[in-house]
Chains A and B, each alone.
Chain A
Amino acid sequence: MLKIDNLHCQVETQDGEEKPILKGLSLDVPAGEVHAIMGPNGSGKSTLSYVLTGRDGYEVTQGSMVFEGEDLSELEPEERAAAGLYLSFQYPVEIPGVPTITFLKEALNAQRTARGEDEVTAPEFMKLIREKAKQLGVSMDMLKRPVNVGFSGGEKKRMEILQALVLEPKFMILDETDSGLDIDALKTVSEGVNALRAPERGMLVITHYQRLLDHITPDVVHIMANGKIVKSGGPELARELEAEGYDKYLGEAA
């Protein structure tokens, strides 16, 4: 479903220099599977999520990323979203002045329009969002507030998953969605994610902790270091990391 081959990516730094971050990353996530990526701080996990979703300033210099047969690098961020790619941000962004409900309705209808589907009507949308909000334990009051403004760290993460439930993307990238969540919230959010697991849907779950993978059991675990995947294995790999740390992989990546 998502095929990344020998991907090299560089970012433009503050002082205008090009800094290589991804250095030949390859990854293949078939439909229906959940893959986890673990790796030390600064190894390039968020960079991967941004380059996949098309953020400005993240330039592919070599290699390819193909989603359901389409070359992602040819598409604008909104086109990738309409194709079904969803990123749960490590740091969700505040948008003052735009109520969350308005924002989500705009987003859903924009995606539907781009796919040649009918827009949802206001009553249909309200029904949908009520149902999903209930599922995630989010109050309607909160949805009337501007996107992420003044939300706690955990509330922002919960909102990211609520948005995913409303938009029903084909492929989700969760970038440290577990960080900032308390134990109960982690359970609720994981249930939300698991509800989206389906044979036609893929997921890439970036995390530092086994505790998320206790709830969302991955099919494959990848270890990323210095801009590359250095090892892949089953769920046991995550438990091994938890016990032993990254030390033995850092040498291999250099």
Chain B
Amino acid sequence: MTATLTHTPAEQALIDALDGATGWQAQLREATLTQGLPTRRHELWKWSDLRRAANDVTAPGRMIVTGLDTPISDGARIELDVTASAGASAADAELVIPAGASVTLIERYSAEAAALGNWHLKITLQDGARLDRIILAADKPDSAFIASSEIALAPNARLHQRALDFGGRLSRIETHVTHPGEGAEVDLGGVYLLEGGHHADSTSVVHHTGPGGVTKQLVKGAAAAKGHGVFQGKFIVDRAAQQTDARMTHRAMMLDDRAEIDAKPELEIYADDVQCAHGNALGALDETALFYMRQRGIPAVRARALLIESFLAEPLDAIADETLREDFKVQLRTRLEALS
């Protein structure tokens, strides 16, 4: 069946950029060819319109990834810099964390203006492996950037993920985890902080396929006037995944009446003996606390920044590497100061 779809210039650019691609990139090409870029009509893209966000993309571009040559062994620290030039581009990679190894993976995303970047990682954690995955999606203000990953754990493996996203015209971090239970643990955390005109989308699916899995997820965000945050989290618990303990929390702060935050936490449970919960809370800055701080002499702008920082910092506090943790907090603080 040939597609009768008329492609937008961005879609055509992406199709051209992926001419002759194999593997995941070929799938992306095929999907773009037959369905175009996702719009809000697409179930999984309810609040993020990629076709629209990429409407200034007209030609193929390039995605450059450095750091992939780092050998993966116990104690390894892999630093991937993923950069999208203007235009449509994609790149992908596959990582296998060997049995029993403990590895830190740091990904830094950046994109030029008018980029449509697609980055995909396939990660396998073997028995007893531990992965600390840390994502800084900071530097891509005028572009659409989609980072997706498929992560499969073996029994006794542990995945600890933290993402810090300052958004962009459209920024999406999409994480799909297959969780076998049997001693495996997943901890997904994220923070987004959005100035006006920025959009960040945190989408994740954790699929529990075996018994006794533990999953924690805490995503916190804040959006200024005309910032748009999206959280979509889904836990699937198969019949075979009895005694799963899975908890999801999204908490966000609207810094202005004109901010928009959309959240869809979902549980899809087919087992009967599980402990699963999700929570979602949207709030505003605590005006009483703000006054208290100002009464003590702290200027309004600084008081706001302190309050927002203390609200957002929690997921980042769990970053094991102290230098990285501090670096992330400095990034957050710098953004906050620029915001006010």
Contact = CB atoms under 8 A, between A and B. Distances in A.
Given A56-B287, A77-B291, A106-B302, A95 B307 contact: yes
A81 B296 contact: yes
A167 B292 contact: no
B295 A81 contact: yes
B294 A76 contact: yes
Interface in A102-137: 103-104, 106-108, 110-111, 114
A78 B293 CA distance: 8
A69 interface: no
B195 to A, nearest CB: 21
A106 B294 CA distance: 11
Interface residues of A, number: 31
B24 interface: no
A98 B310 contact: yes
11 contacts: A53-B295, A77-B295, A78-B299, A81-B295, A81-B297, A89-B295, A93-B289, A94-B289, A95-B310, A96-B310, A107-B296
A82 B297 contact: yes
Interface in B274-318: 287-289, 291-300, 302-303, 306-307, 309-311, 313-314
Contacts of B289: 93-95
A141 B84 CA distance: 48
Residue in A54, A80, A110 whose Cβ sees the most chain B Cβ within 10 Å: A110
Nearest to B311: A97
A231 interface: no
A163 interface: yes
A104 B303 CA distance: 12
Contact of B293 (A82, A92, A95): A95
A55 interface: yes
A95 B288 CA distance: 10
A87 B295 contact: yes
Given A97-B311, A98-B306, A167 B297 contact: yes
Contacts of A92: 292
B310 A114 contact: no
A106 B295 contact: no
Contacts of A108: 297
B310 A76 contact: no
A86 B296 CA distance: 7
A110 B300 contact: no
Given A81-B296, A93-B292, A114-B297, 16 more contacts: A54-B295, A56-B287, A56-B291, A78-B299, A78-B300, A81-B295, A92-B292, A93-B288, A94-B289, A95-B292, A96-B311, A98-B307, A103-B293, A106-B298, A111-B297, A167-B297
B297 A78 contact: yes
4 A-B pairs with the lowest CB-CB distances in the bound complex, closest first: A97-B310, A111-B297, A81-B297, A107-B296
Given A95-B307, A97-B310, A107 B287 contact: no
Interface string B74-118: 000000000000000000000000000000000000000000000
Interface string A58-100: 0000000000000000001110111000110100111111100
Contacts of B291: 55-56, 77, 93
Given A96-B310, A97-B310, A81 B294 contact: yes
Interface of B: 287-289, 291-300, 302-303, 306-307, 309-311, 313-314
Contacts of B303: 78
Contacts of B300: 76-78
Nearest to B294: A77
Contacts, number: 76
A107 B294 CA distance: 8
Contacts of A89: 292, 295
B310 A110 contact: no
A51 B280 CA distance: 36
Nearest to B310: A97
A242 to B, nearest CB: 31
Nearest to A85: B295
Nearest to A96: B310
A165 B303 CA distance: 21
Nearest to A89: B292
Residue in B295, B299, B302 whose Cβ sees the most chain A Cβ within 10 Å: B295
Given A95-B307, A97-B311, A97-B313, A78 B292 contact: no
Nearest to A83: B297
Contacts of A95: 289, 292-293, 307, 310
Nearest to A57: B287
Contacts of A163: 296
A49 to B, nearest CB: 10
Contacts of A54: 294-295
Nearest to A104: B296
Contacts of B298: 78, 103, 106-107, 110
Contacts of B287: 56
Contacts of A56: 287, 291
A80 B291 CA distance: 12
Nearest to B312: A97
A250 B2 CA distance: 88
A242 B302 CA distance: 44
A96 B308 CA distance: 11
A82 B302 CA distance: 15
Contacts of B292: 89, 92-93, 95
